[in-house]
Every structure is written in structure tokens, then in C-alpha cells.
Structure 1
């Protein structure tokens, strides 16, 4: 998951790419007319999230919707323009890269302040990196993308003078500039909590800025600050009076005074509200596209189509051969199936992805074959030689027979020892599209004799299985994407926090005995390191092309469909620069609401 905080979203920290919809509303869910009249005197935009925020502590957050919300509260040194892809200054007004590519010196803007009026200084930058992001005692996914090269060494950060800060790396690292975009945090509010330990010897920072924290204690530097949070109802943000941005005429930005994030668990309800004329925007799911398109002119809104979304969605198997407390994580019989490459390739051939596009996505999507976003300059297409798995159940059966599987007289698939091939596929419950995909996969695989027990789970139970207990067989999920493949380094590094198909225990988790890395896994990790060291763009593209070929050959993830990024926005909302990478509101400081 790459723009202000969207840069961090695209770093693919443990973030679910929910195929669910971000919705922008203009009313209070319980009493819209009352809330609207109370706030009519100020420009406001109300957005929605599908669940309550998990935390207001950015480094500890692992939820996509919460990360988007936090993007309005915090700025980093730099950002990435989601239209041009260029790196742009934010808290830093400029930077200089040394000739040997080992140092970047940033110069901060003058007069920066926190939301409590305190000065934002170089000391805050040094604190944010040295005490938080680079601190092994703080369990943050940000650290994975800051590790350099094969050694995995971390950069060093030091104060040069009152306005300049230097980042140094042990070896040239091409993506390093983009990796300096993490939010800067306030030393005066948080430093004590990093140094103070609780009864278990952990920094009390781990308990800071929870969702029950009084809003005035959450000190921020972004365009908005927290005004209030009402559990299961809404999060209200107010414009940060100390925010640094001004437009060309000297007017303070952002222009919108209040942002309200309504907590709406049903996207169907949001659609009804949008159609009634009460809402400013709604994410457009494939099933409702035709309906809304017919109402576009009459309803005075525009449907924006950003083309294929930046994220991925896929099926994957638990390839972990390890044990916990002497017990295999995966049934050894099934583990042999899952770790057979022909088995995974057969599954890929047996899934009818075009029918997914036609039925579930109503034609509003494209076949997906790569872990790298189609918007990235390093994306390898099928036309350029990437191996793909078009629907071919006969080919699937041939691969299974070649691998030693066989069929009984009822057409059921058995392994060489006569075991019926049956496994459980899990996903997160409540996501209609993902549940529809899972149901079709169950049906498709039954045609090649495999029984799939499709089981949607509550989000907390699902994430506990795939990232903690590792007690699962197959799963259906997605990840966010971006322009720079190295943002997904923690997916492909065997020790990475998102190496989900063969997960190594993360800090604080129970150890695993017998965990091993396949040669192809190690090769992908090696190539990612090479790509990060290389500055010749043609060579970088060639290296990433090879990684995509390996992933499609060995299929740690079986990619499915890339849906189009669609949103309907009322015409009274001006300044939209729609991007599949960031949606309609990535440039929130430039957007106006007119009545």
C-alpha cells in the first residue's frame, strides 16, 4: 500500500484490500437533517468507514480504513503525486542526494507547527525514525520497507542543524527517497512513552493514542485534527489551524473545514442514501454501476473510472512445513498437495476468472496476473510474455494426473495414497464480492473433483488465523498496490511480515520448528534486493519482470480479477483528480465543496 499517507498504504503493511467501498456522505446516519443543519455554516464533507478505527497510533495500525483516516491527520517529509507519480515535498521543502547515493539531506520548511501550536522541528523527524520506526521494540510494519539490501540493515538518521536532517544508508538503495515518507510524530507528546516501560518491559508507547484517548491529546501535523470520536457512529475531524499549506493566492488549505467519517457497516445503506440525494459520494460497486449511470445527469453527480484498481486479490495456500509444539501447522497430507507446484497450477487453470468478471464484476474489471500494479512502470503484461492461466479445466486435470493424483469412479480427486482432495478456503465475512468469488471457486474446483469447504470468517478471526496462529489451509484476500514494487518487499522477503504463504513467526509469536524456504522463494527475495540496488531503469524493469515470471510459475498467490476503480461524486465537490491509486480525495487540500 503512496501519497502523503497513501504512500504508506501502498507499502502493503498488513492491510486488507477490502474490495468493499469507501463512501462519502453528507449526513448524520441517525438524523441526517438535524446534523446537516447544525453544521451548514461550514464547508464539510462526510466520508464513511466500514468499521470503527482500530487506533489513532499510526505506527501500530494495520487496518486500511484507519490508515486512510490517519492520512488526514499526519504528514511526512515527502509524498508521491498519484497522477504524475513524481515525488513532491511536504514537510521538507527540498532534499539533496549525495553523488554516491548513500545520503539524503532534507531541509524542513520554516515555521512548521503541531496542532497544539508547538514547533515541529528536526528533532521530531529524528525521534520519529530513530525512536519509533527504526526501534526494534516497536512492532511496526514500516521497518520492513526501511531495511536495506541483503543484510537487512536499517538506515541511520541524524540532525545536521536546526532545519536539516540526514538519512544515510549502508549501500545504494534506489527506492530510499520514497521510503522517507512516513508520518512525522511529535516528540514532545510521545518520547516519554517510548522510554517508559510497562510491567512486561514493553514501551508504554504501545498503549498510547488508543481509540479512547481524549482528542486533544492526539497531536498531529496534517490538514485535520481529531475533534471527536463516537463509537460505532462517527469520527469528526476539524481543520488544523496550524497546518502549513497555502494556495497560490495565500489562502489556507485545506478549504473544507470539517471531515466526518460516518461508521456505516452496510454499503447498501450508503447507496440508498446517495440515491436519495443526501450524500456527496459513494463507491460504485459493479452490481450498481448501471443503475447509477442512468441517474448520473439527473442526480448531478459524476461517476469516475480510474481503470484497473491498484490492489490485488488472490487465493493462496499455506505452504508452511513447520511445526508448533511438535504439531504440524498444516496436515502433512494436505501440505504435500499445497507444496506441489502442479497442484497450484491446476487450481489456477480451474478457476474461471472471465466468468468472475462477467458475473460478479458485471464486466467492470480485467484479468489479473501479476503482483505488481498495472499502473507501475515495472508491470509485465501477458503481451510482454508473462505466463497466464486462462480457464482450462482439462489442462488442470492433466497437471494433477502428472503430479500423481488420480480420479475414482465418482470423479472425485484422490492423491497417490487414496486421500480425497478436500480443503477449507477462508475469507473475511461481510465482503459481498469476496464471498461471491469464494462461492464460484468452490463451484469451479468441484468440476475437477476437488471439494472446497468455503468458510467466511469474522475479520478478527480471519486475521488471527492467517497472521498469528497460522492454522489455515487456503485463503482468499487482497493487498493494496502502488507504483514502486519494493513497497511490497515484506511480502517477498521470507522474514517479512506479509510473507503470508510461508509465514515466519513475527515478534511476540510462538516459535515454529522446521520452517524452511523454497529455492524459488529465496530467488524472488534476492531479485528484489538486486532491483533496489539498481539505478538503471531498463535493468530494474528486467529484474522485476523476472520476479513476475517466477511468481506466475510457482504461484504463491493465484491472482484473480482486477476490478475497475469507480466512484460517484456530487458535482458540488470541486477539484477532483481521480486516481485508481488514491480514489477521489487523495488531494484533499485542493478540494472544495460549493452549495
Structure 2
């Protein structure tokens, strides 16, 4: 196994100590005091305070506690649980869903929350003048969901066909019709609640109200005493009266602020974990493992004839990249131990599936990883007819073409660049000539989506609890189906089978039966190797030891309203 570069981590620690010792405080920079105020941080300013228009994490973080949805994810069970809706049921066909809304819920301005607000939010999502990502998710069977207001506390949704992901898809925030209805009618909804909006104009049903926004410095929040969950509890909820969200330019600055005791909790990078453990007692923090990354890192090979077939001539790379022997050899050349040591400082695991093991419902635990075995990889290449015929150290295929191709990833992503370096080293040992070509992100996107001019790519995708949300990647017609996107008809029988399983999985309402469809998809991907899985990072959190009920899961904070600061 290759030795990890501990020198990098040591250098970062030295710089951190020096920076903390020498920094001057600016507005918003003050050390924590025991009290009723929670301080966290986000990277960059929000772009909007309109949650439906939000496409960046900073905007989402800025409004997360102001608004609520009909349901929310239970981060422990990974199943939806009631929020603004108390209960729901569907008919036998699974095409009509009825949601019963929570009574006595009010907006921050005192107006009652009703079914009309739910219908209005759906109208905003489907409005062509309101660009948003939810419209695609909520298009079922090619049609929008029909929303009926049965009475002030009952909403009925009618779908064109059964859609099992519905509950995992309607956790989006509900917006006030009485505040934003005119803007939707006038066609100005997309411009509503920009970052210049006064905080008191942001009206939600959530546990906090925004009280102050200072660009490039901080956002401040105060508990809203009219929150419905407080009325249903024997203690004041949320437990913490005030919150501050510091705005920092990058992860390094965030780490420095945590070391300077300006933040209550922080998610450290792998190279910072050992350093934080050494400082835990002095900083009065606990450092705990949260779990594995919920996304995936993989290497994929281009199988698109649009790039490899011109004027009737077929580039040999297309034959290599669709050859099971070649792909299996590549899978057996993934040195997961070295990747974990050199990119995650020992904090990671070998990945076997496109779905993370943290997804307890849909992850298939029966898949066996391709063992790192260069001898087996060499044997597979030889079986496939890839032999060094001229003694130059590079294998040739049966037609005498040298086994040579480009390997790319997005330039500046240090983790992926290290992964590429390790892959290239082992592929060279196998007799493959690899040209590493890092790409600027805009160029990378162009190659993946427009001109398809690439050979092998190390990429990553985020993951969630709902596997249907990956259908744009897995479906043969998807525009994110990297290895051959936008297919009019499935190019292979196994891609056609994945398409069928995606359709069946989306329509099956019985959870135990439904998960079998996604297990089958994972088995096909594991066999056909369009996405050769690499490694998953272990996630950690460091937090002040006097925080009570602080539970961070791979899917987020569990019941954040119950977090408290011990006096």
C-alpha cells in the first residue's frame, strides 16, 4: 500500500495555529459564550431568499429554518415523517393521495396556513416563468400533478400513474399564497424575496425568523414563539432561542473559526480529523464519526458512438470500453487502500455500489467488491486479446492498436486528481498508456454533455434516500447517462432492463417489493461496469461537548429543534 502524505496534514495544522494566533477580529467574529445562541457557518453568501429559486447550498442554508414542507426526512429511519401534514393515504391504484394538514398552524405574520397555500406552491412550481428543478421531479407520467383543495385542511393529489417516490419528493417548502400570490400572477415570482428583501418580509411557518443579514459576514435568526411544534411539546421548541450563520469564503476559513472557538460544530476534512482529536480536550469538543458519504465516486469509460464512429470508421477505443474483459480488468485494478490512505488519510471504505450503504432501505448488501488484484487484471486483459506484441511495455489489441487513452477529471479537485494519479500508476503497470488530462469544469461539462470528446473520466455524484432521483443518470434516455446519453432506444439489453426496473420501482408502492427493483439495478451495474466504483469517504463531525441532543447523521441533523446548549 502506498504511504499516505501526512506531511500535508501537518503543514495545514501548523498554518492553522499561526493563522489563529495572528488574525484580527472583524464584525461577527467573536468567541462563543455559554448562552442560548447557536453559531454555525456557510461558505459564500446566499443568492436568494426564495427557497423555490434556490440552486446553491448557501441559499438553502440561509432559509432552511424559516420554512417547512408537508413531510420531512427522518434522518434515522430515512423514511418521511409528518410535518405540515399530519397523515396521508392513497387509493388502491396509488394514483390518488389525500393529505390531512395540521390544524392551528400559522404563518409568521399570523395568517392561518391552509390547503390553498399547498395548491399555490404547486402552481408556482409548474409555472413556466418560474425556473426550478422541482418541476421535472413532479412531472409524473408526462403530466403535472392535479391538486384539489378539498377543504382548508385537506389536499388531494391526482397522478397520471402510480408514483412511489411521491413522499420523498414533496418535502419541498410550502409558500404563503397571501404574500406571494400577486407576484405569481404578475409574473414576478422569480424575482421575489431576493437578497435585498428585508428579513421581516420573509414569511414562513418554520421555527425561526431571520432578523439580520450582513453580506459577507453573517445571518441572524430568532426563535418564533408561535411555532406549532412548541404548542405540541412540553418544552419550548426549538430549544435554542437564537442562531447565527457566519459567512466565510472557504473551508480553510471555516476551520480556523472553529479552532478559534467561534463555531459550535464543524464537519472536518479528512486531513483535519487527527489534528482535531489532539485538540479535543482544549477546545472542549467531541469528534465523532457520522458515517459514509451518501454519494459516489467512480471512473467511467465513454461508450458513445457519436465520438468513436465517423464516416463508417469505428475507433478501437469503443471496442475496448464495451469489452467485459477490459472493464473487469479495470475494476480489479482499483487500489482502494491506497486511495483511502492518500486521499482520505485512512478515513474511507471501498465502494461497491452506486447506492451508499448508508441507505439502509435500498442498498444491496450482497454485492462483493472487485478485489484489487493486478495479476488477475493482467490475465483478463490477456484473455481479451490485449498483449504487448512489440515489447514496448504497452499492450495492443488483436488488430495491433496500442492500448492508449486519456483520463480526465475536473482540474483543481485535489481528491479526484489524486485518484487519477493512483489509477494511472496501476494502469501503467498493466501495460496501458494513460494520458492524464485535467479539465476546467466548464470544459468538462461541455465534453460530457455536448461534444462527447472524452475517453475515461473520474466523476462524483451526490446521493439521497430516494433512488428514483438518480434516474437521469441511470436511464438510457437521460441526459446525465454519462457513457452514452440521450439514447432514443436502449443501446444494450442490460440498459433496457435498467429502464424497465426504474419504471417498475417508481410504480411499486410496497416498500419491500420496491427495493428489489433497485437491488436488481445495482446487480446489473456491478456486472456491466458503466460506473466503476472507487471509494467512499467517512464523514466526521466535531462539536462542543456542552451541546445536548446533537445527532448528525449522513442525511443531516436529527430533530434539530431539540438541540440545546447546556449552561
Q: What range describes the TM-score normalised by the shorter chain of this pair?
A: 0.7 to 0.9
Choose the corresponding residue for 1:350, options 327, 333, 347.
Answer: 333
Q: Which residue in the other structure is 2:565 paired with? A: 593
Q: Distance in 1 between matches of 2:280 and 2:146?
A: 52
Q: Which residue in the other structure is 1:484 paired with? A: 466
Structure 2 stretches of 5 or more lacking a match? 1-19
Change (3 A) 1:373 1:422: same
Question: Any idea what SS the aligned residue of 1:305 has?
Answer: strand
- Listed as ranges, the matches of 1:56-455 within 5 Å are 56-64=49-57, 66-132=59-125, 134-135=126-127, 138-148=130-140, 151-196=141-186, 204-211=188-195, 215-240=199-224, 243-246=227-230, 248-249=233-234, 251-253=236-238, 255-267=240-252, 269-322=253-306, 334-375=317-358, 376-381=360-365, 384=366, 386-403=367-384, 405-407=386-388, 408-414=390-396, 416=399, 418=401, 421-427=404-410, 429=412, 431-448=413-430, 449-455=432-438
CA contact (8 A) 2:237 2:562 kept: no
Shift of residue 464, structure 1, vs aligned partner: 5.8
- CA offsets per residue over residues 486-512 of structure 1, 9 Å max, x none? 3333332334464344333xxxxxxxx
Question: Any idea what SS the aligned residue of 2:28 has?
Answer: helix
- CA offsets per residue over residues 137-159 of structure 1, 9 Å max, x none? 654333444344xx444432211
- Listed as ranges, the matches of 1:475-514 within 5 Å are 475-496=457-478, 498-504=480-486
Q: Distance in 1 between matches of 2:194 and 2:303?
A: 35
Question: Any idea what SS the aligned residue of 1:475 has?
Answer: strand
- CA offsets per residue over residues 34-83 of structure 1, 9 Å max, x none? 63569969733332333444544434444445444443333110112111
Q: Which residue in the other structure is 1:12 paired with? A: none
Q: Which residue in the other structure is 1:10 paired with? A: none
- Listed as ranges, the matches of 1:536-551 within 5 Å are 536-551=510-525
Q: Distance in 2 between matches of 1:119 and 1:52?
A: 31
CA contact (8 A) 1:306 1:564 kept: yes
Change (3 A) 1:30 1:229: farther
Q: Distance in 1 between matches of 2:452 and 2:49?
A: 27
CA contact (8 A) 2:406 2:454 kept: no
Q: Distance in 2 between matches of 1:229 and 1:410?
A: 64
Shift of residue 222, structure 1, vs aligned partner: 2.9
- CA offsets per residue over residues 159-201 of structure 1, 9 Å max, x none? 111111111223333332332222212334444454556xxxx
Q: Which residue in the other structure is 1:200 paired with? A: none
CA contact (8 A) 2:284 2:545 kept: yes
- CA offsets per residue over residues 246-289 of structure 1, 9 Å max, x none? 1622524252412314224133x433443344432221333232
Shift of residue 369, structure 1, vs aligned partner: 0.8
Q: Distance in 2 between matches of 1:237 and 1:473?
A: 49
Change (3 A) 1:445 1:55: farther
Q: Distance in 2 between matches of 1:589 and 1:73?
A: 12
- Listed as ranges, the matches of 1:510-549 within 5 Å are 517-549=491-523
Q: TM-score, normalised by structure 1?
A: 0.79
- CA offsets per residue over residues 60-112 of structure 1, 9 Å max, x none? 44444544444333311011211133432111122233344332211222333
Question: Any idea what SS the aligned residue of 2:410 has?
Answer: strand
Change (3 A) 1:420 1:172: closer
Shift of residue 536, structure 1, vs aligned partner: 4.2
Structure 1 stretches of 5 or more lacking a match? 1-26, 198-203, 505-512
Q: Which has the larger radius of gyration?
A: 2
Change (3 A) 1:81 1:356: same
Q: Distance in 1 between matches of 2:161 and 2:459?
A: 35
Q: TM-score, normalised by structure 2?
A: 0.82
